């Protein structure tokens, strides 16, 4: 049986928060490229929550490619105007 991972209860701050935000966005992009929309949606929501907690200076540290994917391109597919997952029966 593998060892249990310790959960870090301290909230992220500074460069660790920026690094975790970038990691989450990259993970969402990998899931998107693999056509795994359900897990991608969850990862994107976590990344958005972290991104929204950044201040302006920290947001500038996130690479532009990741910001564009998170804020604009993925909004087209995961925005509020889209039908939520788990739709009707076939």
Q: Where are the alpha helices (DSSP H) in 13-89?
A: 14-33, 37-52, 56-61, 64-68, 74-78
pLDDT, one tens digit for every residue, the chain (90 residues):
677 776 666 677 788 899 999 999 999 999 999 999 889 889 999 999 999 999 999 999 999 999 999 887 666 777 777 766 666 555
pLDDT at 84: 67
For the entire predicted model, the pTM comes to 0.75
Going from the C-alpha of 65 to that of each of 32, 33, 68, 69, 88, the distances in angstroms are 15, 15, 5, 6, 35
Burial 18-41 (b: 16+ CB within 10 A, else e): beebbebbbbbbebbeeeeeeebb
């Amino acid at each position: 049986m593998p060892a249990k991972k310790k959960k870090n209860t301290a909230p992220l701050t500074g460069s660790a928060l920026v690094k975790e935000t970038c990691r989450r966005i990259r993970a969402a992009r990998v899931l998107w490229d693999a056509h795994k929309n359900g897990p991608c949606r969850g990862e994107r929501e976590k990344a958005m929550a972290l991104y929204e907690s950044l201040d302006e200076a920290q947001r500038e540290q996130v690479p532009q490619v990741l910001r564009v994917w998170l804020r604009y391109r993925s909004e087209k597919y995961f925005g509020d105007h889209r039908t939520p997952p788990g739709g009707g029966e076939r």
